[in-house]
Amino acid sequence: MLWPFVVYFAAVIAVVTGMLAISFFLGERHREKATGQPYESGVKSAGSAHLRFSIKFYLVALFFVIFDVESMFIFAWAIAFKGLGWVGYISIVVFIGILLAALVYLWQLGVLDWGTAKRGRTDRVRED
C-alpha cells in the first residue's frame, strides 16, 4: 500500500541529486578576489548589515499581517455567504465592528501617526 509514496520519495531524491550533480559539473568555477564579497544589485555594500530599524517598520508589518489575516476571514465569509444566512451576516458585522474599534483605538493611541511627533508635557515651553 505504501509503494506509491516510496516511488515518489525515490523520484524526488533522484531529481534533487541529479540537479545538484549537473550544477556541480556544469557550473562556473572562478576564484576572483570579489567572488565571496556580498553585493546587492551589482553594488558593493557599504557599512554593516546589522542596522537598527525603527519600530515603525515592525508595526507596519504587524498591522499588515493582522489585517491581511482578517481579510481572509471576510473573504471566506463572502464565499459561504448564501449558506450562512442571517447568523453569518450578523457574525461578520460584529467581526468588522471589532476590527473598526481596534483601528480607532490604535489611531487614538497615535500608533498610526508618523509624520509629526506628538508633543507631551515635557516638550512644552513654559510661558510665565
pLDDT score recorded for residue 32: 79
- Domains of the chain, earliest start first: 55-109 (1.20.58.1610)
Indicate the Cα dihedral angle 80, 86, 92, 93, nearest 10°: 150
Angstrom distance (rounded) from CA 56 to CA 110: 12
pTM for this predicted structure: 0.46
Q: What is the pLDDT of residues 1-31, one digit of tens each?
A: 889 999 999 999 999 999 999 999 998 887 7
**Residue 96, all three cell numbers:** 468588522
| Chain position carrying cell 533522484 | 14
- CB atoms closer than 10 angstroms to residue 106: 13
Query: Which one, of 63, 54, 53, lies nearest residue 112 by Cα?
Result: 63
